[in-house]
């Protein structure tokens, strides 16, 4: 029974940011559980990532171009015979994205970059949820998973960042907070047909400065930063029928960082 609930055999999943670290890892996980995966990204390496999976296709689209995005997604769903069971909104401008007015001290963060980040991190996710709702309704198992962040729920502790050039922009936090509340709003709006949840990853180890890692790990009950599989495991649970009675929830996947 639990094997059946964890199976994604015959399901189709669309993952934005599918060429990125976490997007790719979720693609592998859903593929392993039997899903066909559509990886969408503006980065052309998405084709290489898709080719490395068993049952995946890559789609190039930029989330800041709504018309082109809608056309690419419509074509991808048509290619999957009109069916879609799972949407994972994962693409984002992240702390390391190379933008002016972004990964900078508060006084240098610009409203232009704030708007651009909200557009990709939040507005595009809203547009995609709206576009795929008919297909998810028709699925009978339709589900949306929004990838937020601990920084959509918590303020940064700047003592971790001292002596580093790492950043944590206000627009990132605001976009992720918006994602969390959009999740709750959509969950009651689309029920009972479509489940909508969010996960909030904690910081993923990716070569951050030693001083940051040490301070971060000392604050984390499980004593380490996350890796991509930690996030993919939680995502896989949320989109399978093992979570079929879970909607409107925000799961912190942070090693207990937010539990103190």
Ligand X SMILES: NC(=O)c1ccc[n+]([C@@H]2O[C@H](COP(=O)([O-])OP(=O)(O)OC[C@H]3O[C@@H](n4cnc5c(N)ncnc54)[C@H](O)[C@@H]3O)[C@@H](O)[C@H]2O)c1
User: Looking at the annotation, which residues are catalytic?
Assistant: 172
CA 165 → CA 8, 155, 205, 227, distances in Å? 42, 18, 16, 22
**143 binds ligand X, rule: CB under 6 A:** no
CA dihedral for 78, 43, 28, 13, sign (positive or negative) = negative
Would you say 135 and 194 are in contact if contact means Cβ atoms under 8 Å apart?
no
**149 binds ligand X, rule: CB under 6 A:** yes
**62 binds ligand X, rule: CB under 6 A:** yes
**217 binds ligand X, rule: CB under 6 A:** no
Kindly state the number of chain residues that form the binding site for ligand X, as judged by CB under 6 A.
23
Q: Which two tokens stand for residue 167?
A: 């950043």
CA distance 149 to 151: 5
Q: Which of 14, 57, 120, 186 binds ligand X (CB under 6 A)?
A: 120
Residues β-bridged to residue 60? 41
Q: Which is nearer to ligand X, 37 or 63 (by Cβ)?
A: 63
The radius of gyration of the chain's CA atoms, rounded to the nearest angstrom, is 18
**17 binds ligand X, rule: CB under 6 A:** yes
Q: Which stretch binds ligand X (CB under 6 A): 56-64, 125-133, 157-165, 216-224?
A: 56-64
Task: With H, G, I as helix, E, B as strand and everything else as coil, classify residue 77.
Answer: helix
**104 binds ligand X, rule: CB under 6 A:** no
**23 binds ligand X, rule: CB under 6 A:** yes
Q: Which is nearer to ligand X, 147 or 182 (by Cβ)?
A: 147
Burial of 259: CB neighbours in 10 Å, binned 0-12, 13-18, 19+: exposed
Q: Which stretch binds ligand X (CB under 6 A): 1-9, 27-35, 62-70, 79-87?
A: 62-70
Residue 189 host element (H or E): helix 170-190
Q: Which of residues 177-206 bind ligand X (CB under 6 A)?
A: 201, 203-204
First to last CA, the chain: 36
CB of 246 to ligand X, least distance (A): 20
Q: Which of 8, 13, 15, 22 binds ligand X (CB under 6 A)?
A: 22
Q: Which is nearer to ligand X, 17 or 178 (by Cβ)?
A: 17
Q: For residue 68, how many other CB atoms are within 10 A of its CB?
A: 13
Q: Which is nearer to ligand X, 19 or 190 (by Cβ)?
A: 19
Enumerate binding residues for ligand X (CB under 6 A).
17, 19-23, 41-43, 62-64, 90-94, 120, 147, 149, 201, 203-204
């Amino acid at each position: 029974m639990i094997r059946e609930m964890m199976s994604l055999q015959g399901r189709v999943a669309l993952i934005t940011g599918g060429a990125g670290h976490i997007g790719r890892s979720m693609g592998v996980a859903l593929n392993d559980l039997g899903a066909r995966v559509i990886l969408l990204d503006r980065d052309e390496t998405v084709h290489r990532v898709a080719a490395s999976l068993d049952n995946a296709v890559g789609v190039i689209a930029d989330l800041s171009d709504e018309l082109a995005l809608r056309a690419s997604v419509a074509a991808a769903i048509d290619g999957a015979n009109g069916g879609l069971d799972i949407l994972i909104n994962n693409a984002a401008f992240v702390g390391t994205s190379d933008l002016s007015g972004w990964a900078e001290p508060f006084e240098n963060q610009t409203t232009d970059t704030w708007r651009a980040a909200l557009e990709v991190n939040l507005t595009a996710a809203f547009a995609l949820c709206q576009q795929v709702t008919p297909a998810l309704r028709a699925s009978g198992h339709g589900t949306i998973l929004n990838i937020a962040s601990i920084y959509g729920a918590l303020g940064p502790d700047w003592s971790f960042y001292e002596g580093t050039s790492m950043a944590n922009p206000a627009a990132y936090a605001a976009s992720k907070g918006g994602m969390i509340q959009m999740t709750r709003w959509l969950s009651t709006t689309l029920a009972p047909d479509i489940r909508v949840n969010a996960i909030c990853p904690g910081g993923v180890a990716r070569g951050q400065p030693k001083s940051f890692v040490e301070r971060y790990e000392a604050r984390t009950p499980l004593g380490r930063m996350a890796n991509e599989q930690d996030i993919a495991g939680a995502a896989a649970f949320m989109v399978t029928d093992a979570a079929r009675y879970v909607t409107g929830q925000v799961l912190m996947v942070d090693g207990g960082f937010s539990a103190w």
